[in-house]
Chain A
Amino acid sequence: MPAVTNSPAALVDRALELAPRVALRPEPFGALAYHYDTRRLVFLKDRDLVRVVEALASQPTLGAAFDTCAIADHRRAAFERAIAGLVESEMVRERADR
């Protein structure tokens, strides 16, 4: 697993994407993420967070994904922690394209 949280650049400035072999399933409370390799299931408990995760691959950075999804400033720290958790559980990973 790439040690994103320990890297010099902050997570918001990194290019991220949903890991391959991870499926997102919409649910009333947000979404379920399932990793076919680790067989791990994670609950995304906020619909806006789900939108951010879905936007990651098409945005240059996590911060840009926040902007695209119009996430209010006061919510960004919590969302960043949630994304860090998803990186930790290998659901989200750093993109190799830059």
Chain B
Amino acid sequence: MSALTAELKRGLDAPICLTWELTYACNLACIHCLSSSGRRDPRELTTDEAKALVDELRRMQVFYVNIGGGEPTIRRDFFDIVDYCVAGGVGVKFSTNGAFIDAAVARRLAGTDYLDVQISLDGIDASTNDAVRGQGSYAIARRAMDHLAAAGFGPFKISLVVTRHNVEQLDEFKQLADSYGAQLRVTRLRPSGRGADTWHELHPTSAQQRQIYRWLLAHGDDVLTGDSFFHLNALGEPLPGLNLCGAGRVVCLIDPIGDVYACPFVIHDEFLAGNVRDPGGFARIWSESELFLELREPQSAGACASCGSYDACQGGCMAAKFFTGLPLDGPDPECVGGDGELALAGVASGSVPRPAADHSKPVRSSPVTFVRR
């Protein structure tokens, strides 16, 4: 373990990578949505509260925030909040399904400094993508990309969650990104939110895990990963990025109602550190919450202690273990040594924690509709 990794495990004075989900409202209903989004939560932070939070982030010298949701652009004050961030020197990268990016919005985005846009796309064609993200969502995303390119936005990001159905499309995704002058971002599917119900059918097979590792290794820094594949480092040469779980140490999540969780993939009471509306606000949660202080303590390798690959993979992802019912001090469910599969077989049905705060819309079979509140 490098000296730097050791330092990062003890936590930073402020997060490097902070995800801020502005709303649980969403026009889509992706079957792997890690925040179970759909309906707006009435307790959502107001515009003034959001701006006060930005003030706090600026005082903590948070360099940038990753804004997401739900679909963040559904909020009427979306641009107010974004403009307030960048005016204060807090850069913004926001994730969107693209529904509200028309020509005019694309021009506005292109004219804003310190701003990155990330369009989600989980299949290279409509049938692969729409099976996960909903009917019509492929066309929506491609149209948004066309608008951004036409507006001269520059290198926006195309963000792909890798599943067993799109692994074979990685090369085509790279070509698509290149054709737009965009940057490809590939991240790991987690069994979080509605993903808890679909992970078992969607997550890459163990042969595909190896394929993903080789592909990422070959593409190096050309492809962004949010450092989400460090569990694959047990296969050999480490992938680029910080090889550690950053939860509560260098990353965290602020959800639409101001709840602060250890990372974007663990929306559950067990990983809830506090609420930005509490006295002392976000800064106090980051520096003093019991949960975060505990996560910054040396973690036990548990069942992985005797495995020679532990230094390489760090036992994998906390969220992936938690929502598949595995102990946190044991193998990742996608452990490349096969230990995760064995462990999963021993998980008693009914003992797996359920994701909290389900904001899913009632099930309906009609195509995607757009409602902007």
Interface size class of B (residues with CB under 8 A): 10 to 19
Contact B10 A25 (CB under 8 A): no
A41 cross-chain contacts in B, Cβ below 8 A = 16, 63
Query: Is residue A69 contacting chain B, with contact meaning CB distance below 8 A?
Result: no
B12 cross-chain contacts in A, Cβ below 8 A = 27-28, 32
Contact B4 A45 (CB under 8 A): yes
- Given pairs A28-B7, A34-B63, A41-B63, 13 additional interface contacts (CB within 8 A): A25-B13, A25-B63, A27-B7, A28-B10, A28-B13, A29-B3, A32-B16, A34-B64, A36-B114, A39-B64, A39-B91, A39-B116, A45-B3
Query: Is residue A26 contacting chain B, with contact meaning CB distance below 8 A?
Result: yes
Nearest chain B CB to A67's CB is how many angstroms away? 27
Q: A26 with B114: in contact, given A34-B63, A36-B91 (CB under 8 Å)?
A: no
A29 cross-chain contacts in B, Cβ below 8 A = 3-4, 7
Nearest chain A CB to B12's CB is how many angstroms away? 6
Interface of B is mostly: loop
B14 cross-chain contacts in A, Cβ below 8 A = 25
Nearest chain B CB to A9's CB is how many angstroms away? 32
Query: Is residue B61 contacting chain A, with contact meaning CB distance below 8 A?
Result: yes
A23 cross-chain contacts in B, Cβ below 8 A = 61, 63, 89
Q: 0/1 per residue, B287-311, Cβ < 8 Å to A?
A: 0000000000000000000000000
Q: 0/1 per residue, B37-72, Cβ < 8 Å to A?
A: 000000000000000000000000101100000000
Bound-complex Cα distance A54 to B3 (A): 23
Query: What are some 25 contacts across the A-B interface (CB < 8 A)?
Result: A23-B61, A23-B63, A23-B89, A25-B13, A25-B14, A25-B61, A25-B63, A26-B13, A27-B7, A27-B13, A28-B7, A28-B12, A28-B13, A29-B3, A29-B7, A32-B12, A32-B16, A32-B63, A34-B63, A36-B89, A39-B64, A39-B91, A39-B116, A41-B63, A45-B4
Q: Which 6 A-B pairs give the minimum distances between C-beta atoms?
A: A34-B63, A29-B7, A25-B61, A27-B12, A27-B13, A36-B114
B61 cross-chain contacts in A, Cβ below 8 A = 23, 25
Q: Nearest chain-B residue to A26 (Cβ)?
A: B13
A39 cross-chain contacts in B, Cβ below 8 A = 64, 91, 116
Q: 0/1 per residue, A16-30, Cβ < 8 Å to B?
A: 000000010111110
Bound-complex Cα distance A25 to B63 (A): 9
Bound-complex Cα distance A36 to B114 (A): 7
Q: Within residues 1 to 25 of chain B, which ones have a CB less than 8 A from any CB in chain A? A: 3-4, 7, 10, 12-14, 16
